[in-house]
Amino acid sequence: MNSHVTTNAAPLPFIDIAAQRARLGSRVDEAVTRVLTHCRFVNGPEVTELEKQLAEFAGARHAISCSSGTDALAMLLMAWGVGPGDAVFCPSFTFCATAEVVPWVGATPVFVDVLPDTFNMDPASLEAAIAVAERQGLTPRVVIPVDLFGQPADMDAIGAIARARNLKVLCDTAQGFGATWNGKRTGSFGDASATSFFPAKPLGCFGDGGAVFTDDDDLVPVLKSVREHGQGVDKYENVRIGMTGRLDTIQAAILLEKLAIFEDEIAARDRAAKRYNAALADVCIVPVVDPRATSIWAQYTIRLPQGVRDDLGAALQKEGVPTAVYYRIPMHKQPAYAQYPSAGNGLPVSEALSGEVISLPMHAYLDEASQDRIIAAVRRALGK
């Protein structure tokens, strides 16, 4: 491998949205122009078509598009009538939106620790969190497993606990859409799933967007009502408290073009992740994928001993290799969330990971030469 420092090479992107734009050619522009021509900017035909194709892709009976991943989570809590006195179990090591929607409906987030290898919800910690919630007089209602960095949470173990405790399972697959568990796609597990089409997610639009997936026929009209200000049969009758939760037609048109190449991109991401694993396993802890899972590699996240990752990030920055830290502060330590209960013991794994993790550039257009440059820079920075 090249040993000299390539400081004058152009900086690499963390996610290469421009490369995807180039690959799609004029297809996205034409799709947007079609919407600009028919002018059905809200609830247009592309929205209906996208929902059909998303449901097929995920293997779910229904896909309900919406304005963001955060709103997808909120719409489900609202549709289920989750509220004051209810406990909703969230991993502490996640993006804030997983827990943010819980106080929106007046319920209490209860933080659960994660597993050190997969970064996903620890079923034993979930059991402990349920006991804490009950001791505090809360009613356990919903568990939100997160498919962190693209790998599905342990649906078998979490599903078994949820069935035994009569909890709803809301899968937060904002980072995991396109991954599989036991050969089935995310979006087809639990009582419902929420995903995000934020541009940086594996399937992203050109703005904000999201979707809910469910097999529950009765939930669909409720979700659609929540999405449109709680409307009843008549548009101007309000039968519940809702929101403006729709996906723009323009974003749906863009997503239809991107969904058409998504399978291909999934394969490219997986190739890149496997090359990283092979080249870095001797210098850091590389990501571990459960044998029942495939990851969509929303992030490629390595672990280093405490105190090392920020120096690595600074050294890579000098070589034009961007990195990111997801997440520096676990949710139970965030100022706005520290008041809420957690499973106990200080959630040691979430706390340790928040000091160890760093993510390397990962996208479907990471060519081998760029990747080799990143790998060489990481090895050099770690003195290997």
Shortest Cβ 75–ligand PLP spacing (Å) = 12
For residue 309, give both structure tokens: 């990752």
Residue 57 or 93: the one with the smaller Cβ distance to ligand PLP is 93
Q: Please provide the size of the chain in residues.
A: 384
Please check whether residue 176 is in contact with residue 186, taking contact to mean a CB–CB distance below 8 angstroms: yes
Among 60, 65, 66, 70, binds ligand PLP (CB under 6 A): 70
Q: Is residue 212 near ligand PLP by the rule CB under 6 A? A: no
Please check whether residue 15 is in contact with residue 324, taking contact to mean a CB–CB distance below 8 angstroms: no
Q: How far apart are CA 230 and CA 11, in angstroms?
A: 48
Residues 6+ apart with CB under 8 A from 260: none
Among 175, 188, 193, 249, binds ligand PLP (CB under 6 A): 175
Neighbours of 29 (CB within 10 A): 13
Residue 150 or 242: the one with the smaller Cβ distance to ligand PLP is 150
**Which member of 201, 318, 333, 384 is catalytic?**
201
Tokens 């342990």 belong to 154
201 classed as catalytic = yes
Please check whether residue 227 is in contact with residue 245, taking contact to mean a CB–CB distance below 8 angstroms: yes
SS3 87: strand
Please check whether residue 362 is in contact with residue 336, taking contact to mean a CB–CB distance below 8 angstroms: no
Please check whether residue 88 is in contact with residue 105, taking contact to mean a CB–CB distance below 8 angstroms: no
**Size of interface with ligand PLP, in residues (CB under 6 A):** 15
Return the bridge partners of 244, or none. Answer: 228
For residue 63, give both structure tokens: 């896909």
Q: Is residue 193 near ligand PLP by the rule CB under 6 A? A: no
The DSSP bridge pattern shows strands 86-91 and 293-294 to be unpaired
Residue 98 or 354: the one with the smaller Cβ distance to ligand PLP is 98
- The span from the first CA to the last CA of the chain, in angstroms, equals 11
Among 20, 65, 68, 120, binds ligand PLP (CB under 6 A): 68
Among 95, 149, 276, 365, binds ligand PLP (CB under 6 A): 95
Shortest Cβ 148–ligand PLP spacing (Å) = 7
Q: Is residue 248 near ligand PLP by the rule CB under 6 A? A: no
Residue 80 or 198: the one with the smaller Cβ distance to ligand PLP is 198
Task: Give the x/- contact pattern for ligand PLP in 134-153, rule: CB under 6 A.
Answer: ------------x-------
Please check whether residue 66 is in contact with residue 72, taking contact to mean a CB–CB distance below 8 angstroms: yes
Q: Is residue 210 near ligand PLP by the rule CB under 6 A? A: yes
Q: How far apart are CA 118 and CA 122, in angstroms?
A: 9
Q: Is residue 365 near ligand PLP by the rule CB under 6 A? A: no
Q: Which stretch binds ligand PLP (CB under 6 A): 89-97, 162-170, 236-244, 286-294?
A: 89-97
Shortest Cβ 153–ligand PLP spacing (Å) = 11
The DSSP bridge pattern shows strands 293-294 and 300-303 to be unpaired
Q: How far apart are CA 241 and CA 218, in angstroms?
A: 18
CA angle 379, 380, 383 (to 5 degrees): 90
For residue 48, give both structure tokens: 């209906």
Please check whether residue 136 is in contact with residue 107, taking contact to mean a CB–CB distance below 8 angstroms: no
Q: Which stretch binds ligand PLP (CB under 6 A): 168-176, 181-189, 341-349, 354-362?
A: 168-176
Q: Is residue 97 near ligand PLP by the rule CB under 6 A? A: yes
Among 174, 179, 266, 316, binds ligand PLP (CB under 6 A): 174
Among 44, 69, 145, 245, binds ligand PLP (CB under 6 A): 69
Q: How far apart are CA 354 and CA 90, in angstroms?
A: 16
Q: Is residue 327 near ligand PLP by the rule CB under 6 A? A: no
Shortest Cβ 90–ligand PLP spacing (Å) = 10
Task: Give the x/- contact pattern for ligand PLP in 22-61, rule: CB under 6 A.
Answer: ----------------------------------------
Q: Is residue 93 near ligand PLP by the rule CB under 6 A? A: no
For the annotated catalytic residues, the residue numbers are 201
- Residues forming the site for ligand PLP (CB under 6 A): 68-70, 94-95, 97-98, 146, 172, 174-175, 196, 198, 208, 210
